[in-house]
Amino acid sequence: MMNFDLTDEQRLMRDSLRSFLLKECPPEYVRQCDEDEAFPFALYDKLAAEGWLGLPIPEEYGGMGGSCTDLVVFLEEFAHHFEAGANIFYTTVVIATDALVHFGSEEQKQELLPRLAKGEIRFAFSLSEPNSGSDAASLRTRAVLEGDEWVINGQKMFCSCAQEADYILLMARSDTDAPKHKGITMFLLDPKTPGVEVRKLKKLGLKPMDLNEIFLKDVRLPKDAIVGEVNSGWMNVLKTLDYERCCLSAVNVGAAQSCLDKILTYTDERQQFGQKINSFQLTRAKLADMDMEIEAARLLLYRSCTLVDRGIPNNKESAMANLYSSETYVRAAMSGMRMMGGWGYLMEYDMQRHFRDSKLAEIGGGTSEILRIIISRELTK
Ligand SMILES: Cc1cc2nc3c(=O)[nH]c(=O)nc-3n(C[C@H](O)[C@H](O)[C@H](O)COP(=O)(O)OP(=O)(O)OC[C@H]3O[C@@H](n4cnc5c(N)ncnc54)[C@H](O)[C@@H]3O)c2cc1C
């Protein structure tokens, strides 16, 4: 039996985050960050000051020690107000926390985690390359040990928030003779290191979250600038996939719910043929579908994070939650656009932002095709 009811503490956390975001992250702020393509520094600092950045970080390293379900509750609420903000939080704090907690040395944990919780440092995660996306383990960026230093050469693609990061968790090939999954190491790269060049990529949506490509030319790192074991970097990626898919699903569910809430208001106000457009049966059917799909996505999500918190592997369940929530979000944004007619096409309404932002949900963290492959693989084992 699984109970998906939130605890009193989780309800309290969600309500207090909601009050915080209503005050510090109103719709005008979200629109401005989108229009200016600006990283939300002011909000980030306030989240840090209130202790929210420490949610996934263990208490002994200055955080709150939240569970996966706590984090899901947080991200769902955050994404309801500001989807790019929730993605930024996930990218700059959660991925790194997860990697450091599981694979970092005690020294790294003590040095980095408390500063991460205080918002003094930010992280980015760089796995993808121009020629390796879905087949991520075929990456070619090369790391060679020369004496006491690693020398890194190559090019990384699609690294979110690298521009704003103090450290990049960089995946590079440290053994070319080993099978592709076994010769990869996770490096701790300070992007100010000589030989590193970070360039901004222009993209469709999620404008406040920068996307970068990274060029590495004879970049020298100390021998111990790695997270986990040499040649075991792929393990770092695999170990945390279920957890990460829960986080991404939470963002999708929160953002999809935001589409529904906005369109409920709009269709209740807009009149055509002398009546509210929410009185038309065709509109009502769309609203019913949206609500049902979001609820189904939420149930898949809460099942998955409950399994993570119980330590039960849930490769299929988390892939299902990720896949269904991402496609639900895309459909919700599309449906919202349709119900707004020409008004949805205007930049002054938020639905176009969801329409642009939602597409990444079907790409990042595994494309819809890759997630279907993972689910079907479990079926035919
Ligand atoms: C905004 C944004 C932010 C990102 N942030 C990060 C980040 O911070 N760090 C990072 O490392 N990466 C990041 N990525 C990269 C992202 O993870 C990849 O884009 C994604 O994994 C897909 O890889 P690809 O784009 O190279 O597509 P490809 O792998 O080239 O896929 C192209 C198409 O082929 C399909 N395909 C591939 N293999 C198969 C198969 N076996 N069977 C069927 N179909 C298949 C795919 O589903 C897709 O439809 C980001 C991407 C974007 C757009």
Distance CA 103, CA 105 (A): 7
**pLDDT for residue 365:** 87
Expressed in angstroms and rounded, the spacing between residue 360 Cα and the centre of ligand 1 is 10
Distance CA 68, CA 158 (A): 26
Closest residue by Cα to atom 44, ligand 1, is 369
Tell me, yes or no, if the pTM score tops 0.85. Answer: yes
Percentage, residues of the chain above pLDDT 70: 100
| Cβ(364) – ligand 1 distance below 6 Å | yes
Which residue, among 191, 341, 346, 315, has the nearest Cα to 241 in the 3D structure? 315
Q: Given a cut of 90, is residue 286 above it in pLDDT?
A: yes
Q: How confident is the model over 56-76, as a mean pLDDT?
A: 98
Q: How confident is the model over 353-380, as a mean pLDDT?
A: 96
Is 149 buried (19+), middle (13-18) or exposed (0-12) by CB count in 10 A? middle
Q: In this structure, are residues 200 and 210 in contact, taking their beta carbons and an 8 Å threshold?
A: yes
First to last CA, the chain: 25
Pairing of strands 196-200, 184-189: unpaired
> Which ligand 1 atom is nearest residue 160's CA?
8
Provide the b/e sequence for 150-160 (b: ≥16 CB within 10 Å): bbbbbebbbbb
pLDDT, tens only, 275-284 = 999 999 999 9
Q: Which listed CATH number (1.10.150.120, 2.40.110.10, 2.60.40.1180, 2.60.120.560) goes with 124-232?
A: 2.40.110.10
| Cβ(211) – ligand 1 distance below 6 Å | yes
> Which ligand 1 atom is nearest residue 91's CA?
8
Q: How confident is the model over 142-154, as a mean pLDDT?
A: 98
Expressed in angstroms and rounded, the spacing between residue 368 Cα and the centre of ligand 1 is 10
Distance CA 284, CA 140 (A): 51
- Write down the mean pLDDT value for the chain: 97
Q: In this structure, are residues 309 and 69 in contact, taking their beta carbons and an 8 Å threshold?
A: yes
Closest residue by Cα to atom 30, ligand 1, is 133
Closest residue by Cα to atom 37, ligand 1, is 134
Q: How confident is the model over 240-263, as a mean pLDDT?
A: 96
Distance CA 310, CA 111 (A): 29
What separation in angstroms does the CA of 67 have from each of 249, 293, 341? 16, 26, 42
| Cβ(356) – ligand 1 distance below 6 Å | no
> Which ligand 1 atom is nearest residue 135's CA?
29
**Topology of the domain comprising 240-379:** Butyryl-CoA Dehydrogenase, subunit A; domain 3 (1.20.140)
pLDDT, tens only, 200-220 = 999 999 999 999 999 999 999
| Cβ(9) – ligand 1 distance below 6 Å | no
pLDDT, tens only, 31-63 = 999 999 999 999 999 999 999 999 999 999 999
| Cβ(87) – ligand 1 distance below 6 Å | no
* Assigned CATH class of 8-121: mainly alpha
Provide the b/e sequence for 272-291 (b: ≥16 CB within 10 Å): eeeeebbeeeebeebbeebe
125, 128, 164: residue to mutate for ligand 1 pocket, most atoms within 8 A of CB: 128
What separation in angstroms does the CA of 162 have from each of 151, 247, 255, 274, 374? 20, 20, 24, 52, 29
Q: Given a cut of 70, is residue 1 above it in pLDDT?
A: no
The structural domains of the chain, with segments of one domain joined by +, span: 8-121, 124-232, 240-379
Which residue, among 317, 315, 197, 297, has the nearest Cα to 253 in the 3D structure? 297
Among 14-23, 237-246, 338-347, whose mean pLDDT is lowest?
237-246
pLDDT, tens only, 106-140 = 999 999 999 999 999 999 999 999 999 999 999 99
Pairing of strands 123-126, 167-173: parallel
* 60 catalytic residue (yes or no): no
Catalytic residue among 83, 129, 244, 293: 244
Distance CA 197, CA 216 (A): 7
Expressed in angstroms and rounded, the spacing between residue 2 Cα and the centre of ligand 1 is 33
Distance CA 31, CA 44 (A): 16
Expressed in angstroms and rounded, the spacing between residue 213 Cα and the centre of ligand 1 is 14
